[in-house]
Amino acid sequence: NAGVTQTPKFQVLKTGQSMTLQCAQDMNHEYMSWYRQDPGMGLRLIHYSVGAGITDQGEVPNGYNVSRSTTEDFPLRLLSAAPSQTSVYLCASSSIFQAGYGYTFGSGTRLTVV
């Protein structure tokens, strides 16, 4: 049981480049979300999804796109990387009926934009 798998673990991008961060879960969870984690800022919600074909914006969506074509996968796309997007990106999932029991997080992608 792998849980939530994020790839890559580390990435360095040049300003203006685009890339996709991958997130996959094998728990048949309806809810998936992307957070960025910056020192002193806590977790900030970027985008989330409550099922295949359904996505919505969180607190800080600008510069990011998501799609959810399957229950298992929820990729996050950076359209044109900027230094302000240097951060740790965390993917999380849960059952929408058992969110009170907490999310399962991936191990994160550490992104540096130069």
Binding residues (CB under 8 A) for other proteins: these are 4, 6, 31, 40-43, 45, 48, 50, 90, 94, 96, 99-108, 110
Q: Any bridge partners for residue 110, and if so which?
A: 10, 88
Find the shortest distance in angstroms from Cβ 32 to other proteins. Answer: 10
d(CA 22, CA 83): 20
Find the shortest distance in angstroms from Cβ 16 to other proteins. Answer: 27
Q: Are 6 and 69 in contact (CB under 8 A)?
A: no
By beta-carbon proximity to other proteins, the closer residue of 82 and 87 is: 87
